[in-house]
Chain A
Amino acid sequence: MKNIFAVAGVVIKELYRRKDFYVLFIVTILICLVMASINIYDDANIVRYLKEVSLDLIWICSLVVAVTTTARQIPAERENRTLLPLLAKPLTRTQLILGKFLGCWLACGMALLCFYVFFGALAASREHEHWPLLNYFQAAVMHWFMLGIIVALSLLGSLVFAAPSSNSTICAVIIGGILFVGRHLDQQALALREPTRAIVNALYFTIPHLEFYDLRDLVIHNWPLIAWKYIGLALLYAAGYMAVFLLGACLVFRRKAVN
């Protein structure tokens, strides 16, 4: 565990030394402040459009941070020729993968914390009587676990695909596809002929349903809290997919030449 945390610590340090997160965070703040300054029929209590813009930006930025940070971890070690010295230390390949995953996931969590604190402050500036902190907590935790799946997927992709750019693009397409049509794949399968129908159905039951973790509509429109048992089950579901992708990454990395 000590080795895993050591690797994770290095990854976290790398994130806060790089400028990506700061740029995205400042751009998000600026866009939200500009949107907040718009006068809409002289009504200062209109807030939901602002919450939507803010959450959309947070989602985009967090996905960019998660995918790009993870996709370059192993290729960068290989390119800088630091991978071999790293593995020469008392560090197994599995520990390296788990350390990289944990570092990226925790780094995403820290970025999310900043984003959601800003989001809460922005919403509170307009919704003076309504502070649904538990709803924000549910949204943030679910979002973080979804990023965990994405980090694990990108890590696996970084070992399979040749370059970080191709890995990032393919991951972005997969994530976008799941978020936009994942929920409806079974409906679409009904209109297809065999064997395409069976393939699409199999895909529907195989893919990680990232849309479970998208609580934006519930937060924006002030819906009541989700029952905690469903949140717990969704987190277990995410943990399962993280484990599957990490296992895949460990198996691929075990057979991979490091130089």
Chain B
Amino acid sequence: MASPRTYLLLLIALLVACFGVAAHLEPEFQAWRGSRSTGDIFNIALGDSRRMFANSFYVKADEYYHSGYYPSIFDDRTAFQTAHMAADTGAVNSKNHGDEHGFLGPVRNWIDGFGRHFFPDRHTHLDAGGPADDLSGSQNVREILPWLKLSADLDPDNAQTYTVTAYWLRERMNNVTEADAVLHEGLRNCPGSYDILFELGRLYYESYHDRDRARNVWEEGVRQWLNLDPDMATQRRPVDQMVADWLNRPLNLVKAQKDNQLVLEQLTTHLGKLEEEEDHLPQAIQWFQAGQRVSETPDVIQKRIDGLNFKLGQKFHPLLKPLF
């Protein structure tokens, strides 16, 4: 039988060994890319599957935007491929077609017809008053925010979640401070996102009336969009030079650019409008020309360019005004 002293010494030896192994492993564990010790709770619990949950919560937010009137996996979803709450921000390309009011189709039988009395059966949007059709209740759009927040927490790399959240916070809740914070958090998680930069510029321009900061972030957004093309991303140049260069090239968009033409149109037309207001007409024309290249309605932008050219002509050749 060993003495208690032996056990004590063995215990001390084991503790020392444990401490030594821990001290040896700790730096390696911290440097290990698979370590879960520094991740957030969702990352630890769900791993990469959190993106799937994030998407379902994003859809849930759109379901709330429709006050529960939303197609299930068994219904015709062609009119709901792009979330309406995102399409209504004006910064997202809508892929929706089909009848958004009647995805349920005609009544199939008496059970189907009777059952329709017991769930939402009318297409409404929360920002337009929801089921009550009361426009004064458009602030109820706040109800989509918890799901958007959860979606952003689960998938911090999805820029659209931040832009949609910020848009509704700013437009309907008049909560510009929170919208600003959401967009900056988005920029931290998705650095260089042109979607977030566009929304941030709108916030500076429309809510803070700060044209200089709006111009800076919009120009940065255009730069990031042009940089999607590896040929354009080779040199660091002023953005107006990049745009002039891009306008002189034949239009050859990479896939990511083709999928996001609307945001460039929005960025450039907003910049054009801003420059026009500041009477920088040549710059405004250049921005509108850039927007025209990717626009689905180039004729409308051409009319605007013609108007600016006319104003520019009057400015520099006032004597050429028509005499009648």
Residues of A within 8 A of B (CB): 38, 40-43, 45-49, 142, 181, 183-184, 186-188, 204-205, 209, 211-215, 217-218, 220-224, 226-227, 230, 233-234
Contact = CB atoms under 8 A, between A and B. Distances in A.
A41 B178 contact: yes
Nearest to B119: A217
Interface in B172-224: 173, 175, 178, 182
B108 interface: yes
B143 A47 contact: yes
B149 A40 contact: yes
B109 A221 contact: no
Contacts of B182: 41
Contact of B173 (A43, A48, A222, A227): A43
B120 A41 contact: no
18 contacts: A38-B146, A41-B145, A43-B173, A45-B142, A46-B145, A142-B118, A187-B74, A188-B74, A209-B115, A211-B115, A211-B119, A218-B119, A222-B67, A222-B130, A223-B131, A230-B114, A230-B117, A234-B114
Given A42-B175, A46-B142, A187-B74, A220 B68 contact: yes
Interface in B91-132: 108-109, 111-112, 114-115, 117-120, 130-132
Contact of B142 (A43, A209, A223, A227): A43
Contacts of B115: 183, 209, 211-212
Nearest to A201: B109
A35 to B, nearest CB: 9
B130 A221 contact: yes
A223 B118 contact: no
A222 B175 contact: no
Contact of B117 (A40, A41, A184, A227): A227
A48 B143 CA distance: 6
B58 interface: no
Contacts of B109: 186
Contacts, number: 90
Nearest to A53: B146
A183 B121 CA distance: 14
Contacts of A46: 142-143, 145-146
A169 to B, nearest CB: 25
Given A45-B142, A204-B111, A222-B131, A217 B175 contact: no
A48 B63 CA distance: 12
B264 interface: no
Interface residues of B, number: 29
Contact of A218 (B68, B108, B132): B68
B288 interface: no
B64 interface: yes
A187 B146 contact: no
Contacts of B132: 222, 224
Contacts of B68: 217-218, 220-221, 223
Q: Which 4 A-B pairs have the closest CB atoms?
A: A217-B68, A221-B67, A184-B74, A49-B146
A43 B173 CA distance: 9
Contact of A221 (B64, B114, B142, B146): B64
A209 B111 contact: yes
A193 B149 CA distance: 45
Interface string B130-163: 1110000000001101110100000000000000
A94 B146 CA distance: 51
B183 to A, nearest CB: 13
A135 B178 CA distance: 34
B72 interface: yes
B169 interface: yes
Contacts of B143: 46-49
A41 B112 CA distance: 40
Nearest to A48: B143
A221 B120 contact: yes
B118 A186 contact: no
